[in-house]
Chains A and B, each alone.
Chain A
Amino acid sequence: EIVLTQSPGTLSLSPGERATLSCRASQSVGNNYLAWYQQKAGQAPRLFISGASSRATGIPDRFSGSGSGTDFTLTISRLEPEDFAVYYCQQYATAPLTFGGGTKVEIK
């Protein structure tokens, strides 16, 4: 099983600042099949990034994904008020599919 470790657990930032979220895998993620999801309180997760770097439909370009192998990053270039939420990474290369523990981006 591929274990995903996200850091930090909580990121306290102000609107307009840059956010950098990390996701590290215990072994290489094949084909860079790494996704990022955003979840707001009381809502289902929403796909933001797939294939490590491809934005899903409707996702603004201030969100970018990068990385390969075992180290992946989600960057939000300038935080907007609606971006404060929990973000999860997931690998979908190998069963069992696995999620990271999440990073909460909160308003400072």
Chain B
Amino acid sequence: EVQLVESGGGVAQPGGSLRLSCAASGFKFDDYAMHWVRQLPGKGLEWVSLITRDGGITHYADSVKGRFAISRDNSKSSLYLQMNSLRTEDSAFYYCAKGNQWLTDWWGQGTLVTVSS
């Protein structure tokens, strides 16, 4: 069974940094693109970033471009999101999602990021 478990969420100050991790199991990790998607509590979904299966291509939402960096370690079946220069509007649940090409076909349960002074 596919499992995606996010970690690394918490409280950060504006301008600070956090690194999110996603541990994947139940599928051949290096065969699939991976995504991060976020959701403000009680609000809609916002796609954040994707990375191809070999890590060679990445894409970002304009709202995070230049501040966030997605990466992966296929040897550890892990996905990461380095978040720098955090803003209050980055506060959200962050979901890791398995990609079938660019389609997100399986999601983790999310980790909460709160940016507050």
Contacts and interface: CB of A to CB of B under 8 A. Distances in A.
A and B: bona fide binding partners: yes
Interface of A: 1, 33, 35, 37, 39, 43-47, 50, 56, 88, 90, 92-93, 95-102
B59 A95 contact: yes
Contacts of B60: 96
Nearest to A42: B109
Contact of A47 (B35, B45, B102, B105): B105
B95 interface: yes
Given A35-B104, A44-B107, A90-B104, 16 more contacts: A39-B45, A44-B95, A44-B109, A45-B95, A56-B105, A88-B45, A90-B47, A95-B50, A96-B61, A96-B62, A97-B59, A97-B102, A99-B44, A99-B45, A99-B47, A100-B44
Interface residues of B, number: 22
A10 to B, nearest CB: 13
Interface of B: 35, 44-47, 50, 59-62, 95, 100-110
Main secondary structure of the interface of B (DSSP, over half): strand
